[in-house]
Amino acid sequence: MKPPAAGRWVFAVESFPKNLGGAHKAILALARALAAAGRPVRILAQSGEGSWDGIRVEEGCFPLVGKRNPEERVISFFAAASPFPDLYYPHGGSWKSWERQNRICAEGAYRWLQAVRVKLSPKQRAGARDEAQILLGSRSPEVVAISKGVADAIANDYGVPRGRIHLVYNGVDTEMYRPDNALRERVRRERGWDRAFVCLFAAHNFRLKGLANAVTAAGILGARREVRWIIAGKDKPGRYAALARRLGCGERLEFLGAVGDLRPLYAAADLLVQPTFYDPCSLTSLEALACGLPVLTSRWNGVSEILREAGGGRVVDDPRDAAGLAAAVEEMAADGPEAQARRRTARAAAERHSEKVWVADMIRVMDGVAGISS
């Protein structure tokens, strides 16, 4: 039985924590937009429940998704959420890509150990199995890819036809994240950064996001520039602080630990440095751009595609190229007259990928899957 054109969409997600992250807020924004158009949405979560602005999240209902109400369409934001979705949205990229990049960023003998750990991890094995079941099964869904890199991986690893893959970059809340000159001046004054060029690194997985290479770049720069490196994230800083001391730049690094609200740091910093080994389309990068903060990242960040098209930062081909990172930081630190223009370009790039744009693009793709004419 073919579902009616106005059939309800079911959003299948892994979890819905009380403290919502950017991805969960975007899902709610999409649900609100559909509900406002008279198209109610059902959200099913493996864990977590509640109500946000009238949007209800139900917990532990995945078996119902598999039974498939003929009047419902399913979009799965998590591989295990539904075995037969109509639309698959791997917001963390493909499992195979994640596994590959984790091996690449491991060093020396640890690379072999990391490969074994990934292969034996129940969570990773389950995720890879569930994704393969979705994409290689007889009812292969259409796919939303949040960057061209993700689209390439889905097509090459699973043989999904390009015509069934839809490119929709992540969106950022450009109202919540916006330039704030007063906040910038206050934070820089309070922290003693008035004369410094401030590089911000923000991530919870320091190894995967390339902190060792950022620290090495700081060591290469040495005392040639008054550059401060601010590290925000809940990962363990020990080995990176030790590396900085060995390279003679320990006094220029400051580890803040986990930071709940990054907006003061986005405002105060001069550059977000994110030499990541894997980021399908970093929300941190997009938030920084929305705050007018230029971004220096690697080609393995989906946002690099946006930077190459719209400007607002620099892209290094290989995150292990510490000399290239150092050269890019030094170039941008020395580029005083262009600093304000670059910040405006960063904001403009984010506005092209706002949450509102993301919602509109997602509804267009979902309507196409459901056979609804625009």
Q: What per-residue confidence (pLDDT) applies to 5? A: 43
Q: What per-residue confidence (pLDDT) applies to 181? A: 96
Taking a C-beta distance cutoff of 8 angstroms, is the pair 279, 300 a contact?
A: yes
Does position 170 have pLDDT exceeding 60, yes or no? yes
- Specify which of 108-112, 138-142, 339-343 reaches the highest per-range mean pLDDT: 339-343
Predicted structure pTM score: 0.90
Phi and psi at 134, nearest 5°, equal -70, -50
Taking a C-beta distance cutoff of 8 angstroms, is the pair 41, 363 a contact?
A: no
User: Mean pLDDT, to the nearest integer, of 183-188?
Assistant: 97
User: Mean pLDDT, to the nearest integer, of 115-124?
Assistant: 63
Give every CB contact of residue 154 below 8 A, 6+ residues apart in sequence. 90, 94, 135, 143, 145, 160, 165
Beta strands at 271-274 and 253-257: parallel, antiparallel or unpaired:
unpaired
- Distances from the Cα of 221 to the Cαs of 147, 228, 243, 255, 342, in angstroms? 32, 11, 14, 19, 22
Does position 25 have pLDDT exceeding 50, yes or no? yes
Q: What is the pLDDT of residues 253-289, one digit of tens each?
A: 999 999 999 999 999 999 999 999 999 999 999 999 9
List where CATH 3.40.50.2000 sits in the chain.
8-171+355-370, 181-351
CATH number for 8-171+355-370 (one of 3.80.30.20, 3.40.50.620, 3.40.50.2000, 1.10.10.10): it is: 3.40.50.2000
Taking a C-beta distance cutoff of 8 angstroms, is the pair 134, 111 a contact?
A: no
Q: What per-residue confidence (pLDDT) applies to 44? A: 85
Q: What per-residue confidence (pLDDT) applies to 79? A: 63
Helix (H, G, I), strand (E, B) or coil at 240: helix
User: Mean pLDDT, to the nearest integer, of 217-224?
Assistant: 87
Burial class (CB in 10 A: 0-12, 13-18, 19+), 285: buried
- The neighbour count for residue 223, using CB atoms within 10 Å, is 9
Q: What per-residue confidence (pLDDT) applies to 302? A: 96
Rounded-to-integer distance, Cα 86 and Cα 10, Å: 10
What letter would DSSP give residue 140?
P
Q: What is the dihedral of CA 303, 308, 313, 315, to 10 degrees?
A: 80
Q: What per-residue confidence (pLDDT) applies to 47? A: 79
Q: What is the pLDDT of residues 74-101, one digit of tens each?
A: 888 876 656 678 899 988 888 788 777 7
Beta strands at 165-167 and 313-316: parallel, antiparallel or unpaired:
unpaired
Phi and psi at 285, nearest 5°, equal -60, -45
Q: Which CATH class, in words, describes the domain spanning 181-351?
A: alpha beta
> pLDDT averaged over the chain?
87
Q: What is the pLDDT of residues 49-83, one digit of tens each?
A: 778 777 888 876 554 445 566 678 888 887 665 66
